[in-house]
Amino acid sequence: MLNRSGVATLLIGFSCLFAACGDADDATEATTPTSTATTTPADGAATEPTATTDDDARSPTRTVEHVLGVAEVPVDPQRIVTLDSVGTLDGLVALGALDRIVGRVDLSGGDDPAWLDADWEAVPLLGTWPTLSSEAIVATDPDLIVGWEVAVTQLDADLSQRTAVVATAATPASTNPRWQDSLNGLGMALGLESEAAALIDDYDAALADTVAALPDGFTGRTLTILLGQGGMTGVGLGASAPPAEVRVELGLMVSAALEGRGEFVPLSDELAGELDADIVMLLDFDQGATDWNAVLAELPTYGRLSAVAAGQVVVVDGSLWLNAGPIGARLLLDEIVAVLAP
């Protein structure tokens, strides 16, 4: 999946804009589960609540079917741990569940959902993926653990025997799930399916309004996206990368060199002449700590890009662009038009 840690891995060894960055074959197979956090394969539906009869008189539960199997989840979970501090946290806030989150795990290597107005920073940080601390999670006494498939499969096998665990979305190798899929998974886990569907409908309506209001000359513009972290840059996002859905809806095209090359494309000197576009966008994973214009200006290949001469190089919040949930996605619509309008 792509997160702050993943960007760092992709960028290690880059000394110039178009240096090779290792193998980046288009991966399509899902992560293989390595824990017993879930059982019977399922199609993602949730059944009606069913009361338990255990001696400890636990709260009534309902059976939730998710991407890794099934889980008996409290009808009204009140102590939630999220295995993602960015997109999933965004989704929980959007569903009005912030006050029920008792812990979060950093899945994105230090990225923060800075776009959230809610007091998410008050939620205790329990650890960093992939070194999840079962002890820290257990200490919060959760009645529900939620997270993407890639995080759920890292949990200790016995944790799911103590607490309901729901994988909210599948995570094919090297990419994040669509926020809509993750939100639907959260809705099922919390019994808030209709609320999740309403948030998606609201977003779709906002997207349609944005498309209808696009300025002349916006549709059809070409776009090259670079990733930047630790003062290094050099990885372009292909046509199928996470921002692609919005890009397609808004009529933006990726550079010809990136078409058909999968999620994340290693850049090379051979591709340098093909990467020019109307706009060059750099996704900043240094949280504003790096002067990317100065870094890029030092690269010998930078001057070849006509977007530079046209003043069409923009730097944006990488976490918002790649890791947003429903709240961030709405903000992203406004940002896309604001920074990319001709």
Residue 119 buriedness (CB in 10 A; 0-12 / 13-18 / 19+): exposed
**Is the confidence at residue 9, as pLDDT, over 50?**
no
Whole-number Å distance between alpha carbons of 72 and 65: 9
Cis omega (within 30 of 0) for bond into 130: yes
Residue 273 Cα distances to 111, 175, 293, 302, angstroms: 32, 27, 20, 11
43-57, 218-232, 266-280, 293-307: which has the highest mean pLDDT?
218-232
pLDDT (0 to 100) of residue 143: 94
Of the listed ranges 23-37, 95-109, 150-164, 220-234, the one predicted with least confidence: 23-37
Specify the DSSP element, H or E, that contains 70.
strand 69-74
Confidence of residue 77 (pLDDT cuts 50, 70, 90): very high
Q: How far apart are CA 292 and CA 308, in angstroms?
A: 13
Instruction: Tokens 């996002």: give the residue.
Output: 237
What separation in angstroms does the CA of 33 have from each of 49, 118, 164, 171?
27, 33, 17, 11
pLDDT band at 144 (very low <50, low <70, confident <90, very high): very high
The number of residues in the chain equals 342
Mean pLDDT across the chain: 77
pLDDT at 284 over 50: yes
**Could you read off the pLDDT of 169-195 as tens digits, one per residue?**
887 655 678 889 999 999 999 999 999
HSE-up of 182 (CA within 13 Å, CB side)?
Answer: 28
Strongest mean pLDDT among 73-77, 114-118, 207-211 = 73-77
Chain Cα centroid distance, residue 183: 11
Residue 321, class by beta-carbon neighbours within 10 Å (0-12 exposed, 13-18 middle, 19+ buried)? buried
Lowest pLDDT segment from 26-30, 57-61, 108-112, 220-224: 26-30
Q: d(Cα 191, Cα 137) in Å, to the nearest integer? A: 22
Q: Residue 235: which of 215, 261, 264 has the closest Cα?
A: 264
Q: Distance between CA 78 and CA 160 in Å, rounded? A: 17
Structure tokens at 166: 């729901």
On the CB side of 45, CA atoms within 13 Å amount to: 3
**DSSP letter string over 302-319?**
GGG-HHHHTT-EEEEEHH
Q: At what angle do helices 193-212 and 179-190 cross, to 10 degrees?
A: 150
Q: Give the pLDDT of residue 108.
A: 66
If one compares 76 and 84, the residue with the highest pLDDT of the two is 76
Average pLDDT over residues 135-158: 88
pLDDT value of residue 176:
74
Q: Report pLDDT for 114.
A: 83
Q: What is the mean pLDDT of residues 206-215?
A: 88
Q: What is the pLDDT of residue 303?
A: 76
